[in-house]
Chain A
Amino acid sequence: MNTDIYIYIFIMAAVSYAIRVLPVTLIKKQIKNQFIQSFLYYVPYVTLAVMTFPAIINATQSKISGILAFIAGTIAAWFNFGLFKVAVTCCAVVFISELFIL
């Protein structure tokens, strides 16, 4: 059973790394195809947006504090607060609002 766990861990690590390392080592040229170029330009923003909402409102103890953090974070990001300040703003909003909500 114990050996099994290490085999599981090895498979987890190997597959996780393979997925990440193949594109950055195999694709060394700039892709000229306009569709693929546009697609890859949009991917980061779309994928981060998909992961943020509604996950942010389900991550907190109360949906309301999550929604408040989402709104506060969007406003802070709009005014170019930067990564750290936006993150701290979201955390603070959740912490403070949950003192009242819960």
Chain B
Amino acid sequence: MEQEILTKRISGKRSFKIQTNNNAFKSGMKDGVPIGLGYLAVSFSLGIMAKSAGLTPFQGFLVSLLCNASAGEFAGFSVIAAAGSFLEMAMAILVANARYLLMGCALSQRMEPGLALRHRLIMAFDITDEVFAITIARPGWLNPYYTYGAMVTTMPFWAIGTALGVMAGNMLPANIVSAFSVALYGMFLAVIIPQAKKDKVVAVLIVISFALSYLGTYIPFIKDMSDGTKTIIFTILISAGAAILFPRKPQEES
């Protein structure tokens, strides 16, 4: 009898958990759709670059499926086009993608300490600017199924878009590409602005980030750096400065 109740309770808990995971997966898929559409436009232009570097549609598809990085792939294609060394390739990818290291650190703090290794391994595969943005915007511990949902509706677009870009080149009308190209930035705004309303420090940091990032396109030496490098430098400088000037009390952690 007691055993039965216990079993019932456990299975009840489990079905609740499955439902939570299902819902998280669906939310992830839904939030992934606009990202996927944005990806299609961006990866299409990436495909055009892959073609000029001498890649076939399949190779472009493969790179995008495995790398999931705009700046990183862009850097990689430049190395291939210049027939650079393998070491150059590794360094180029490292620098262009180093911000994902920071994002990974930030994500690690939002993963439940007991989260299984397989979840960590799969979630890591698709840490991109956009998927990171929607993942970190969720409250509480990260639910890996949310990220998986987003992966399902974003990764195919990214890979297919690249292949299409290699095949078709400049076929989409310019005004459509232009409109699509801001979708990703719109999503970034949707993540950072609501937090700025809640946290004045974040609001000030966002304004400073916009300003410095803008100045960075004019300041000699800095303006010649790649976008990936600039992003890392500004992120570290501004975040470290804020952490020194406005340290957060541990209980504020949501």
Contact = CB atoms under 8 A, between A and B. Distances in A.
Interface stretch (B2-10, B12-20, B162-170, B194-202): B194-202
B191 A35 contact: no
Contacts of A46: 205-206, 209, 234-235, 238-239, 242
Interface string B220-231: 000000010011
B66 interface: yes
A73 B231 CA distance: 21
B76 A12 contact: yes
B63 interface: yes
Interface string A17-52: 101111111111111101111111111111111111
Highest count of chain A CB atoms <10 Å: which of B120, B134, B186, B248: B186
B54 interface: yes
Contacts, number: 300
B98 A44 contact: no
Q: Chain A interface: which size bin?
A: 35 or more
Contacts of A13: 63, 66-67
Nearest to B185: A56
Highest count of chain A CB atoms <10 Å: which of B99, B106, B190, B214: B190
Interface residues of B, number: 101
B59 A9 contact: yes
B101 A25 contact: no
A78 B193 contact: yes
Contacts of A95: 175-176, 178-179
A84 B248 CA distance: 31
A52 B235 contact: no
B60 to A, nearest CB: 10
Interface string B105-119: 111110101000100
A25 B239 contact: no
A78 B197 contact: yes
A77 B125 contact: no
Contact of B190 (A7, A8, A35, A83): A83
Contacts of A17: 66, 124-125
B80 A19 contact: no
Highest count of chain A CB atoms <10 Å: which of B54, B68, B97: B97
Interface in A45-91: 45-56, 59-61, 65-66, 69-70, 73-74, 76-78, 80-84, 86-91
Given A5-B54, A43-B103, 5 more contacts: A24-B124, A48-B188, A60-B181, A78-B197, A91-B186
Interface of A: 5-9, 11-13, 15-17, 19-32, 34-56, 59-61, 65-66, 69-70, 73-74, 76-78, 80-84, 86-95, 98-99, 102
23 contacts: A16-B93, A16-B97, A19-B94, A21-B104, A25-B124, A37-B109, A38-B243, A39-B243, A40-B102, A41-B253, A43-B105, A44-B106, A46-B234, A48-B133, A55-B185, A60-B179, A61-B174, A78-B193, A81-B190, A83-B31, A83-B191, A86-B186, A94-B179
